[in-house]
Amino acid sequence: MTRKSFLIFLPVLIILVVGGFLLFQRSYTKSSFNDVAHVGPINILDLNESDYESILMGKNDKVLLISNQENRQVSYDNKLVTSMALSPTKKQVAFLYQPNSQSSEELTLALLGGGNTIQEIYHTQFASWDITSNIHWLGNNNIIFLRHCGSSCQGLTLLNVQNGKIANATLSYMFSSNQPPYTQFKDWFGNEHKMENLVSKVSTETINDKFYLIFEMSNEAGETNEQKRFLFTGESLILES
């Protein structure tokens, strides 16, 4: 090959090498961090505290432990765990699993405590209605998750893990030709909050023993533009931003 021919071929070679690397990287990322477990499941009872830093929520309701470039799906009682969350005290783990392999509509929410004790705290035969998101701790005694409520709205359940009491809030999405869309949030304590734009994500956070309910807000185009943070006191929600 002449020097001129080599110089012409070199950019093409670089593109092929880089493209191949990116394709491999994208394929590796997809298989390693979303859907495929390369080794057998790991029982939730066998996890240690440091493992929770390597837990990832995959696609299709799978919980994965990522370690040493391997995926292991988390299971309980030979059934795959579909969502899990470590409490702010790091002393309890809440998790969802399907107790009946023949029905995706049956779902159990359980609590793993000290001494590997397991306590069932919630059960539904209609999961597609009652639990439509991952679970999150809000404080040390409460878990939240979304539920179905009809068109242009979402329910938000607050479950007390100590007494099993449930309260339901509602996120209603309002559209009008005269003004930008907004969300009407009726909380668990009967108070209503009007928020500009639409809720695209619900999460929680603990900072210095204070507990926050967080809404990521997006416009009609799906562009996230702000955050609404509510301080949860156990008896009220206080909007901070």
**Assigned domain for 125 exists:** yes
Q: What is the pLDDT of residue 59?
A: 60
Is the pLDDT at 33 greater than 90, yes or no?
no
Instruction: Give the N- to C-terminal CA distance of the chain in Å, as an integer.
Output: 66
pLDDT digit string, tens, across residues 128-170: 999 999 999 999 999 999 999 988 999 999 999 999 999 999 9
Q: Is residue 139 located within the same domain as residue 203?
A: yes
**Overall average pLDDT of the 40-57 stretch:** 88
The domain boundary, picked from 84, 115, 130, lies at 130
Q: Is residue 182 located within the same domain as residue 231?
A: yes
pLDDT digit string, tens, across residues 81-109: 999 999 999 999 999 999 988 888 999 99
Domain limits for position 61: 33-130
Q: Is residue 52 located within the same domain as residue 92?
A: yes
Q: What is the pLDDT of residue 21?
A: 29
Q: Which residue has the higher pLDDT, 224 or 44?
A: 44
Q: Is residue 93 located within the same domain as residue 162?
A: no
**Assigned domain for 15 exists:** no
pLDDT band at 11 (very low <50, low <70, confident <90, very high): very low
Q: What is the pLDDT of residue 38?
A: 58
- The domain tally of the chain equals 2
Is the pLDDT at 75 greater than 80, yes or no?
yes
Is the pLDDT at 192 greater than 90, yes or no?
yes
Q: What is the pLDDT of residue 68?
A: 74
Q: Is residue 142 located within the same domain as residue 124?
A: no
**Assigned domain for 20 exists:** no
Q: Is residue 146 located within the same domain as residue 239?
A: yes
Q: Is residue 115 located within the same domain as residue 64?
A: yes
Q: Is residue 73 located within the same domain as residue 108?
A: yes
- The pTM of the whole model exceeds 0.85: no
**Overall average pLDDT of the 180-187 stretch:** 96
The domain boundary, picked from 77, 101, 130, lies at 130
Q: Is residue 87 located within the same domain as residue 172?
A: no
